[in-house]
Amino acid sequence: MAILVTGGAGYIGSHTVVELQNAGYDVVVLDNLSNSSEKSLERVEKITGKKVTFYKADILDREALEEIFNKEQIECVIHFAGLKAVGESVAKPWEYYQNNVAGTLILVDVMRQHGVKNIIFSSSSTVYGMPDAIPVTEKSPKKDCTNPYGWTKSMLEQILSDIQKADPEWNVILLRYFNPIGAHQSGTIGENPNGIPNNLMPYITQVAVGKRPELGIFGNDYNTPDGTGVRDYIHVVDLADGHVKALKKVQENAGLCIYNLGTGVGYSVLDLVKTFEETTGVKIPYSIKERRAGDIDANYADATKAKEELGWEAKYGVKEMCADSWRWQSQNPNGYED
Ligand code: NAD
Ligand code: UD1
């Protein structure tokens, strides 16, 4: 029996394939490569010394999915495939709802027709919107999202929960990621954004490697200790391990489970810049810009539930995150094109 990883050639997916293979699981990857390169999987194979079965396929393509489920013995799907650029989702809402929501509906339909009723889904802390109190627990209310990307996550959580409620044979594990950064310690796989990075760490590493002149910090008048936004950064290898641990709940037939995956510690933009500089010895020039629409002051996780129920806890701190992000970027200035 194998684990099907949709979006497995992407940033979090490729790191999760490594941890799954290291834990002894057989892995099948499906990806349409719309935001990734097959080279990531070649590098995964080098890290683990194991073969990855890969299908270049789209989750919207029912026939292709049928073929994979007919051919492979899938016991659980870890579902990363989706579009994730917040700004783009505002400009192209139809494309985001079609790809993320319609794609998942097709995937889940093919799964149930093949008797595969186990899914681990990539959700996001974005479902908490502007939280009333931090740290947020899984019981904190879901709020309005500020963009269509966020809504696809919120809606898919609801859809998968309703499917599990109607058919308790389903195990649905919703993992709410905080801010994944870092890269595999080998420096051979990592985040590879197209164009100008939206997120903070890839922007910092692109400034560090000389691709961009300076970092723009979006606002220094937030209600936080130094005025810049506070987030819960989590090492992508810890996040990947959270998926391996979440499989335990599938094996226990636990039904619907929701977990925050974060470290429980908040760092400001300036904290992250300072830690990056101290860890790598590379200076990051920056200037303060206007606030970015939709940003919140601060958010970080209460990850007690994942610790108690999954035995999962983040092992790496922000220094390791900075060092590993930098190793990946400096060894691969052009991502997988190097
Ligand atoms: P990524 O873009 O690197 O990976 C997503 C992968 O899905 C890509 O390889 C892409 O080619 C593939 N894909 C997209 N649409 C597809 C389709 N229709 N059919 C087949 N493959 C398709 O992104 P990531 O950072 O690894 O994120 C993985 C998941 O985690 C996404 O669902 C994302 O929304 C979610 N998530 C990411 C973050 C983050 O900060 N990176 C935070 C919270 C949640
Ligand atoms: C963003 C998304 C969120 C998504 C998450 C992970 C928004 C509003 N939210 O979260 O939906 O799940 O990414 O993909 O886009 N910053 C700068 N300069 C930059 C980039 C970021 O100052 O060039 C600041 C931001 O204002 C924020 C912090 O850095 O305070 C982190 O930003 P980012 O990495 O984009 O993550 P989020 O905003 O938390």
Among candidates 71, 59, 194, 167, which has minimal Cα distance to 122?
59
This prediction has a pTM of 0.98
Q: Which long-range contacts (CB under 8 A, 24 or more apart) does 275-278 make?
A: 275/318, 275/319, 275/322, 276/204, 276/208, 276/322, 276/325, 276/326, 278/319
Annotated catalytic residues are 149
What pLDDT shows up at residue 83?
98
Report pLDDT for 194: 87
Question: Are residues 205 and 277 in contact, defined by beta-carbon separation less than 8 angstroms?
Answer: no
At 255 the pLDDT is 98
pLDDT at residue 265 in the model: 98
Structural contact between residues 211 and 333, judged by C-beta atoms closer than 8 angstroms: yes
State which of 179, 284, 290, 322 you would mutate to test the pocket of ligand 2, scoring each by most atoms of that ligand within 8 A of its C-beta: 179
pLDDT at 2: 98
What's the CA gap between 114 and 32, in Å, rounded? 22
The ligand that comes nearest to the alpha carbon of residue 199 is 2
Please check whether residue 217 is in contact with residue 269, taking contact to mean a CB–CB distance below 8 angstroms: yes
Q: Where are the alpha helices (DSSP H) in 98-232?
A: 103-113, 148-166, 200-208
> Which residues contact ligand 2 via a Cβ below 6 A?
84, 86, 124, 126, 146, 149-150, 179, 198-200, 203, 215-218, 229, 231, 269, 292, 294-295
Pocket test for ligand 1, best of 4, 31, 145 (most atoms within 8 A of CB): 31
Q: What pLDDT does residue 73 have? A: 98
Mean pLDDT of each 10-residue bin along the chain, 338 residues long: 97 98 98 98 98 98 98 98 96 98 99 98 97 97 96 98 98 98 98 93 98 98 98 98 97 97 98 98 98 95 98 98 98 92
